[in-house]
Amino acid sequence: MAESIIYTAGATRETIYQELLPQIKAVMTPELDLMANLANVTAILKEAFGFLWIGFYRRMDDELVLGPFQGPLACTRIRLDQGVCGAAATQQRSILVPDVSQFPGHIACSSDSRSEIVVPLVSLGRSELVLDIDSDQVDDFSAIDQQYLEAIMTMIADHHYRLP
Kindly tell me which of 17 and 83 has the beta carbon lying closer to ligand SME.
83
The DSSP code sequence of 41-74 is HHHHHHHHH--SEEEEEEEETTEEEEEEEESS--
Q: b/e map of 30-41 (b: 16 or more CB within 10 Å)?
A: eeeebeebbbbb
Residue 59 in the binding site for ligand SME (CB under 6 A): no
Kindly tell me which of 44 and 85 has the beta carbon lying closer to ligand SME.
85
Q: Provide, rounded to whole angstroms, the least separation between the CB of residue 26 and ligand SME.
A: 28
Residue 80 in the binding site for ligand SME (CB under 6 A): no
The DSSP code sequence of 9-26 is TTS-HHHHHHHHHHHHHH
Residue 68 in the binding site for ligand SME (CB under 6 A): no
Strand order in the sheet with 77-79: 77-79, 63-70, 53-60, 126-135, 115-123, 95-97
Residue 83 in the binding site for ligand SME (CB under 6 A): yes
Q: Provide, rounded to whole angstroms, the least separation between the CB of residue 86 and ligand SME.
A: 6
Residue 121 in the binding site for ligand SME (CB under 6 A): no
Kindly tell me which of 21 and 75 has the beta carbon lying closer to ligand SME.
75
Residue 21 in the binding site for ligand SME (CB under 6 A): no
Are the beta carbons of 54 and 109 closer than 8 angstroms? no
Query: What is the phi/psi pair of residue 22, to 5°?
Result: -65, -30
Among 16, 42, 44, 134, binds ligand SME (CB under 6 A): 134
DSSP class of residue 76 equals S
Q: Provide, rounded to whole angstroms, the least separation between the CB of residue 71 and ligand SME.
A: 8
Kindly tell me which of 22 and 72 has the beta carbon lying closer to ligand SME.
72
